[in-house]
């Protein structure tokens, strides 16, 4: 871990607060610039020390804000030192507003990372929480990691602060944000160390790089050397297209026998795509064997009806995934962005794939090459990327969907009793008679020969299916040594396992979507984790729901998180001693369901719509600040959690055998 300080600034109309905490100790430095106290000289001396000692600043979204303010202060130091504290604070505030306006307008910041006198680690950028699919505020990440205090800033930034009491409150708020950012840093320790290693090895700054940026920068470096083109020139490369005729980019070997798939194929061939306007431009659905499969630019998704699918009565459940599907589609078919020579691109791309297979999974290089392989597809559809060519993107996603559907059809037509369970981007889950196993593998082998792609196979004992993105799947039991089992259970203590006559067995379990409860990424919503645990324990171990819920004493497992933006606000209505009170709440909330509490609604102040957080009679207690007390005093309404778990289990356990009959 690098040396430096975790830091955060608060800028208000007449007040500047800066808090720094050493990453290796709890040593803090607090700087206040205000009419009542002016620490500007001390702050500058501290920043000069950071520069001299090569100490980094670690922040949440600091590259876009805090580091911009730091550079402004350093650049204008002489002027700022010549004016009173009140004026300094107001000038810094004006600059902060300018920085925010530039960011909101999508314009480049005044100072690029390479220009900064103090080097940065931005955990917001590093974790890619600036991406639309993962977008997360510090408050949301605080909620996700069970931080004790997720309260918003107690005052608006436009307030003129006139007392030390308010200044101290703002300092405390800033300290809370610094300490939580420090916690995020240590949760991201492996990622930070990896970026440090890559930065030193390749002599490029990747300290705050997201995974796609690592992919882009390293691919750029390797291609630059192969093409003998300077990186700054290669960055300008791209292929801009006005339209894409899908019929001209589909693989020749794609063919179908069933009319529903033939119509699908014809639909794809009829598409002329405007790469600048793809949102909602293509949606298509087919129904085959009573299962609807949906197609779009993002991939293919389909699933059978929700319920329990069990490998019994002579049936087995096969799961087959295409190995590195999207990368291998490009590699095997010699595709590349049009502005990069095919031989060089595919040679380099395949080199990453081959090298990864030689490297143990524990080696960070394995992970790096995986990032490069998986991110290239997305980068080809990013206008600011040197890999930009939307036709390359379409070649992969459109052929990928049709190629997978070929496998789907081939399996089901060769095995009349086959029951499709799921189809999702790069793989299939199918129930087949046990006697048809060899036929299944024969079909898969034929598909591999046609496509030059590879499949990885396994079997499930059962699947509790909500839909294609939400399920619990139990693999078939696997034998292992006692030593292997010990290692497996350290990483996965929730896996079923047993010993039988000196032999050891374990059963891997895959939880997806709303049933995930272990090591959830911080941007994901982990609301009511106790319900997920109760569902899992009941379905996997047959543990009564009441047992899991009544025995849990972790208040955070009972909490939910919600956030709003735009024209919405949270409003809490309480009845106390017969009096009704209403209170506007902050935009990110943590709460639990209680016996005595209040009702919280999402209120749209533009059109007046109201949506209850928990519809029905259920009440909520806001828990943005952790309060330690005897567990029973939290006044949890355990009936709510038990009911919700049982309702979900009832859906997952239903087995409608009519849905499994086709002939």
Among the listed residues 397, 174, 233, the one whose alpha carbon sits nearest the alpha carbon of residue 300: 397
Rounded CA-CA distance 336/391 in Å is 9
Among the listed residues 480, 429, 485, the one whose alpha carbon sits nearest the alpha carbon of residue 458: 429
Rounded CA-CA distance 220/385 in Å is 10
> In this structure, what are the phi and psi dihedrals at residue 43, rounded to the nearest 5 degrees?
-60, -45
Instruction: Please report, rounded to a whole number, the percentage of residues in the chain having pLDDT higher than 70.
Output: 98
**E strand or H helix at 488:** helix 482-491
Which of residues 655 and 352 earns the better pLDDT score? 352
User: Which structure tokens are listed for 5?
Assistant: 């300080």
3-class SS of residue 302: strand
Dihedral Cα 429, 432, 438, 443, nearest 10 deg: -50
Alpha-carbon distances of 189 from 141, 150, 528, rounded to whole Å? 16, 22, 27
Give the model's pLDDT for residue 143: 98
Name the H helices within 108-188: 123-126, 138-144, 164-187
Region 537-549 average pLDDT? 98
Give the model's pLDDT for residue 659: 43
- For the cut 90, the answer to whether the pLDDT of residue 278 exceeds it is no
- For the cut 50, the answer to whether the pLDDT of residue 662 exceeds it is no
Region 172-199 average pLDDT? 96
- For the cut 80, the answer to whether the pLDDT of residue 661 exceeds it is no
- State the residue for tokens 């440090």: 196
> In this structure, what are the phi and psi dihedrals at residue 76, rounded to the nearest 5 degrees?
-105, 25
Structure confidence by residue, pLDDT tens digits, 410-460: 999 999 999 999 999 899 999 999 999 999 999 999 999 999 999 999 999
Q: Kindly calculate the radius of gyration of the chain based on its CA atoms and give it in whole angstroms.
A: 28
Structure confidence by residue, pLDDT tens digits, 338-363: 999 999 999 999 999 999 989 888 88
- For the cut 60, the answer to whether the pLDDT of residue 663 exceeds it is no
Give the DSSP per-residue string, 584-633. Answer: EE-SEEEEEEESS-BEEEEEETTT--EEESS-SS-EEEE-SB-----GGG
- State the residue for tokens 């944000």: 177
- For the cut 60, the answer to whether the pLDDT of residue 176 exceeds it is yes
Q: How confident is the model at residue 576 (pLDDT cuts 50, 70, 90)?
A: confident
Dihedral Cα 142, 143, 149, 154, nearest 10 deg: 90
Give the model's pLDDT for residue 2: 56
> Is 570:587 a contact under the CB 8 Å cutoff?
yes
Specify which residues 459 forms β-bridges with. 318
In our burial notation (b when 16+ CB lie closer than 10 A, e otherwise), range 595-615 reads: eebbbbbebeeeeeeeeebbe
Give the model's pLDDT for residue 361: 84
Structure confidence by residue, pLDDT tens digits, 43-63: 999 999 999 999 999 999 999
Task: Share the mean pLDDT of the chain.
Answer: 94
Rounded CA-CA distance 459/446 in Å is 20
How far from each other are the two terminal CA atoms of the chain, in whole angstroms? Answer: 62
> Secondary structure of 521-565 in the HEC alphabet?
CCCCCCCCHHHHHHHHHHHHHCCCHHHHHHHCCCHHHHCEEEECC
Rounded CA-CA distance 377/397 in Å is 9
Q: What number of H helices and E strands is found in the chain?
A: 20, 27
**E strand or H helix at 462:** strand 455-467
Specify which residues 289 forms β-bridges with. none
Residues 6+ apart with CB under 8 A from 556: 146, 529
- Sheet with 478-480, strands from edge to edge, namely 478-480, 503-506, 497-500
Structure confidence by residue, pLDDT tens digits, 503-513: 999 999 999 99
Structure confidence by residue, pLDDT tens digits, 418-431: 999 999 989 999 99
Give the model's pLDDT for residue 225: 94
Region 558-581 average pLDDT? 93
Name the H helices within 188-229: 189-202, 211-227
Give the model's pLDDT for residue 506: 96
Rounded CA-CA distance 229/222 in Å is 10
Residues 6+ apart with CB under 8 A from 316: 431, 432, 433, 434, 437, 459
Domains of the chain from N-terminus onward: 4-209 (3.30.420), 244-338+389-474 (3.90.1600.10), 555-651 (no CATH)
Region 474-494 average pLDDT? 95
Among the listed residues 404, 542, 540, the one whose alpha carbon sits nearest the alpha carbon of residue 475: 540
Q: How confident is the model at residue 549 (pLDDT cuts 50, 70, 90)?
A: very high
Structure confidence by residue, pLDDT tens digits, 366-410: 889 999 998 888 899 999 899 999 999 999 999 999 999 999 999
For the entire predicted model, the pTM comes to: 0.93
User: Which structure tokens are listed for 13?
Assistant: 């109309």
Name the H helices within 415-481: 437-451
């Amino acid at each position: 871990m690098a040396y430096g300080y975790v830091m955060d600034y608060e800028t208000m109309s007449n007040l500047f607060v800066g808090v720094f905490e050493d990453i290796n100790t709890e040593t803090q430095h607090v700087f206040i610039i205000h009419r009542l106290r002016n620490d500007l000289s001390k702050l500058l001396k501290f920043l000069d020390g950071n520069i001299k000692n090569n100490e980094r600043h670690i922040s949440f979204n600091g590259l876009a804000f805090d580091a911009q303010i730091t550079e402004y202060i350093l650049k204008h130091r002489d002027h700022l030192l010549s004016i009173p504290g009140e004026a300094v604070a107001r000038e810094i505030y004006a600059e902060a507003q300018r920085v925010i306006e530039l960011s909101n307008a999508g314009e480049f910041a005044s100072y690029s990372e390479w220009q900064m006198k103090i080097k940065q680690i931005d955990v917001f950028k590093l974790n890619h929480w600036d991406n639309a699919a993962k977008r997360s505020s510090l408050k949301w990440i605080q909620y996700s990691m069970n931080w004790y205090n997720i309260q918003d800033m107690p005052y608006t930034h436009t307030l003129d602060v006139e007392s030390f009491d308010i200044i101290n409150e703002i300092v405390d708020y800033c300290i809370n944000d610094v300490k939580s950012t420090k916690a995020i840093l240590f949760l991201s320790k492996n990622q930070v160390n990896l970026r440090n290693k890559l930065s030193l090895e390749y002599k490029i700054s990747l300290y705050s790089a997201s995974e796609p940026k690592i992919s882009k920068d390293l691919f750029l470096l390797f291609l630059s050397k192969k093409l003998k083109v300077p990186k700054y020139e290669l960055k300008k490369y791209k292929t801009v297209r006005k339209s894409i005729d899908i019929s001209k980019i589909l693989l020749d070997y794609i063919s179908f026998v069933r009319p529903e798939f033939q119509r699908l194929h014809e639909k794809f061939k009829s598409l002329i795509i405007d790469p600048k306007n793809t949102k909602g431009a293509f949606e298509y659905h087919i129904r085959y064997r009573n299962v609807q499969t949906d197609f779009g630019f993002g991939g293919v998704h389909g699933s059978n009806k929700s319920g329990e699918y069990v490998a019994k009565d002579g049936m087995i459940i096969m799961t087959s995934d295409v190995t590195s599907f999207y990368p291998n589609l490009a590699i095997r078919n010699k595709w590349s962005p049009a502005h990069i020579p095919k031989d060089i691109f595919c040679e380099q791309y395949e080199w990453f794939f081959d090298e990864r297979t030689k490297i143990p999974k524990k080696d960070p290089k394995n992970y790096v090459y995986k990032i490069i392989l998986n991110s290239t597809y997305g980068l080809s559809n990013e206008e600011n990327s040197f890999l930009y060519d939307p036709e390359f993107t379409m070649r992969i996603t459109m052929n990928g969907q049709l190629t997978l559907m070929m496998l789907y059809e081939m399996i089901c037509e060769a095995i009349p009793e086959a029951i499709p369970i799921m189809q999702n981007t790069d793989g299939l889950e199918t129930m087949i008679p046990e006697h048809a196993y060899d036929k299944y593998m024969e079909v898969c082998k034929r598909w591999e020969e046609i496509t030059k792609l590879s499949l990885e196979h396994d079997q499930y004992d059962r699947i509790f299916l909500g839909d294609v993105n939400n399920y619990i799947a139990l693999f078939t039991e696997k034998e292992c040594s006692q030593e292997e089992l010990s290692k497996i259970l350290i990483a996965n203590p929730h896996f079923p396992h047993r010993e039988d006559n000196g032999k050891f067995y374990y059963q891997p379990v895959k939880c997806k979507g709303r049933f995930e409860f272990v090591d959830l990424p911080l941007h994901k919503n982990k609301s009511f984790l106790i319900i997920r645990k109760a569902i899992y324990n009941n379905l996997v171990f047959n543990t009564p729901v009441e047992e899991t819920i009544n025995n849990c004493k972790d208040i955070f497992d009972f909490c939910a998180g919600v956030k709003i933006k735009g024209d919405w606000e949270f409003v809490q209505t309480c009845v106390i001693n017969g009096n009704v009170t209403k209170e506007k709440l902050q935009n990110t909330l943590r709460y639990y369901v209680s016996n005595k509490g209040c009702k919280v609604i999402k209120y749209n102040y533009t059109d007046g719509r109201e949506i209850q957080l928990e519809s029905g009679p259920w009440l909520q207690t806001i828990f943005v600040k952790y309060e330690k007390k005897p567990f029973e005093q939290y006044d949890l309404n355990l009936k709510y959690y038990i009911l919700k778990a049982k309702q979900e289990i009832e859906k997952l356990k239903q087995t409608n055998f009519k849905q499994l009959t086709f002939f």
